[in-house]
Amino acid sequence: MKEIYLRLMNEARCIAARYEVPEFYRRFKPALAISRRIFFHSPLLTHCKELVTPLYVDDFGHGLQHATRVSIDAGTIVLLEGEKYFTVQAELERAVVLVQLAGLLHDMKRTEEEHASAGAQAAKELLRDFPLTPVEIQCIAEAIVNHEAFLEPQTCDTLTGQLVADALYDADKFRWGPDNFTHTVWYMMSYHQVDIAELFGRFPWGVNGILRIRNTFRTNIGTQYGPEFIDLGVRIGKEIYQHLQRHLDALTTDEENDA
């Protein structure tokens, strides 16, 4: 990442640190802890991480850090929502593993057109030798296909598949909140070599565009707690925009010196 964007990202994180943590993280700490335990200790997930880590070297703002956060939050949503579907704890935790595998793989084709469909096909091929049933692999692929924003989702074949797909979508869209301004936008702008003046021009559109996702959450948990992520992101984004506005001339000069 260019030095100027690294600096701006660190300044954005300082701004974001003054804001409250989303209620999702405060209210559901036990479920989050279980999801983290599964993510970091499941042999299937450990093996999957080993395979996908090299694919995320140039992360385009949607790399391993993004995939990890999506996976853990999606697992938490499945744990909370899955109480309605599963009476056996082992079956519920298996669904968590499936959504976390989907979380790790969902953006592996992020730089390609129709990346969700391409990612689903790549996931099927990568998971072919995993100890998963064909139904489980299809469940993961369906979730990846359905994670794209502003597209009509496909109906999944099973209740588990639908839960996994909806949880993946919601956890991925949580990232449109604070994460967008403390991580993603800076990597994307650096990747595309966008200069500071152009970034400044895009910022209001970007902040307002995020609001479009606010009413698209799919699970009960996502519908209840997702909008707060978006609202926090917009508030943080507006403050960062004001910061850019105050320092635009100096930042532009710094960028020219770095070139």
State the Cα angle at 93 between 90 and 96, rounded to 5°. 155
Burial 177-194 (b: 16+ CB within 10 A, else e): bbbbbbbbbbbbbbbeeb
Q: What is the mean pLDDT of residues 83-109?
A: 95
For the segment 41-88, what is each residue's pLDDT rounded down to a tens digit? 999 999 999 999 988 876 677 899 999 999 999 999 999 999 888 999
**HEC assignment per residue over the chain:** CCHHHHHHHHHHHHHHCCCCCCHHHHHCHHHHHHHHHHHHHCHHHHHHHHHHHHHHCCCCCCCHHHHHHHHHHHHHHHHHHHHHCCCCHHHHHHHHHHHHHHHHHCCCCCCCCCHHHHHHHHHHHHHHHCCCCHHHHHHHHHHHHCCCCCCCCCCCCCHHHHHHHHHHHHHHHHCCCHHHHHHHHHHHHHHCCCCHHHHHHHHHHHHHHHHHHCCCCCCHHHHHHHHHHHHHHHHHHHHHHHHHHHHHHHHHHHHHHHC
pLDDT digits (tens, 9 = 90+) for 224-252: 999 999 999 999 999 998 988 887 777 77
Lowest mean pLDDT among 34-43, 104-113, 158-167, 223-232: 104-113
* Weakest-pLDDT range from 7-21, 189-203, 229-243: 189-203
Residue 228 CB-density burial (10 A; 0-12 exposed, 13-18 middle, 19+ buried): middle
Tokens of 242: 């004001």
Look at residues 253, 252, 259, 212 and name the one whose alpha carbon lies nearest to residue 234: 212
Mean pLDDT of 87-106: 96
Residue ranges of domains in the chain, CATH in brackets: 21-163 (1.10.3210)
Q: Max CA-CA distance within the chain?
A: 62
| The pLDDT value given to residue 259 | 62
